[in-house]
Amino acid sequence: MRFIETEPTTRRALWQQAKPHLALTLVQLMFGTWPIFGKVALRSLPSTGLVTFRVVGAAVALALLQGGRTHLARIERRDLWRLGLCSLFGVVLNQFLFVKGLELSTAINATLLGTAIPVFALLASVALGIEKLTASKLFGIVLAAAGVLYLVDPLRGDFSNATTLGNLLLVTNTFFYGSYIALAQDLIRRYGALTVTALIFILGSLVTLPIGLYQLSDFSFAALGWNVWLIVAYIVLVPTVGAYYLNAWALGRVAPSSVAIYIYLQPLISFAVAPLVLGERIDHRAWVAAALIFAGVAIVTRGARNRIVQEISECPDAFGR
């Protein structure tokens, strides 16, 4: 009889545990479209202008979702420095360094160097006392990174002197974004994903807007077609507002290393979409890489699954409606 009462509760609890991972998969689908549409937008807009539109547009959209209330008064004074760092690391430096690095380097290099994000996120969360550095997590990250490296083929990367500055900017970006993931978790759990995401973009816009206005002072907006504005709107709403919010929502429920390792799905998604959009064929490298990446993700996230199963067995009533 006890088993019959617990089974629906177990399914509900497992569904609650699965939702963050489904959200993170959707986040990678959203983020995966950003370089494609970003490259198109950069044909008509300077990189600084695109970053400004993205950050300020996202700040306005998130403020509207908040009903015009930023809830800054709710943030305790001791948390303001952490909120400021999250905005600086996760929005301002992340946006400027990635876009400029991509402009000066190559897409392949950006994918290769992006494999460092989960490593930096794990190290930052260990330094902050959020996670413990375990052999299984480290092995899972290395395994997934190996899948990405095998997929994009490091021999195709361009690490000549011409791309040195771009590569340096991309590596620096991975450090700051990984640190942001670790720093933001405690704030998100206490104040909510929407509030924290809105605030970091509002604070970020205070920095990017003056820079953007200065850089765009001589730019002719009349030359931009309606299709460019639609692309900019898509970049703001989907791979920015939607992706950042869902990423923050999931971060409030799973470990930073689990959030970060889903980044490894982005190149896999790109290779999966390529046959549909470009008519390219999927070769054996994609299948081998997929196996490595999914195995790595499974190993890193295994701890969360084991933890919730144990909690269900110890106290099934706690997972009721």
Q: List pLDDT tens digits, range 209-227.
A: 999 999 888 888 888 889 9
Task: Tell me if 99 sits within 8 A of 173, measured CB to CB.
Answer: no
Alpha helices in the chain (DSSP H): 2-41, 47-65, 80-87, 94-104, 107-113, 117-127, 135-152, 164-191, 193-215, 226-236, 243-251, 256-261, 265-278, 284-314
pLDDT recorded at residue 228: 92
Mean predicted confidence (pLDDT) in 279-297: 65
Q: How confident is the model at residue 148 (pLDDT cuts 50, 70, 90)?
A: low
Q: What is the mean pLDDT of residues 116-142?
A: 83
- For residues 73 and 279, the model is more confident at 73
> Which residues contact residue 169 at a Cβ distance below 8 angstroms, ignoring those fewer than 6 apart?
97, 98, 100, 101, 104, 105
Determine the average pLDDT of the residues in 297-301. Answer: 71
Q: Confirm if 103 and 51 have CB atoms less than 8 A apart.
A: no
Per-residue pLDDT band at 190 (split at 50, 70, 90): very high
pLDDT score for 319:
30
Using the predicted structure, report yes or no on whether residue 277 has a pLDDT greater than 60.
Answer: no
Q: Is the pLDDT of residue 172 over 70?
A: yes
Residue with tokens 């869902």: 246
For residue 34, pLDDT over 90 is answered with: no
Do residues 214 and 151 touch, judged by C-beta distance below 8 A? no
Rounded CA gap, 293 and 287, in Å? Answer: 10
Number of Cβ within 10 Å of residue 218's Cβ equals 6
Residue 142 is predicted with a pLDDT of 81
Query: Would you say residue 2 has pLDDT above 80?
Result: no
Helix 164-191 and helix 117-127: axis angle, to 10°? Answer: 50
Q: How far is CA 229 from CA 215, 235, 269, in A?
A: 18, 10, 25
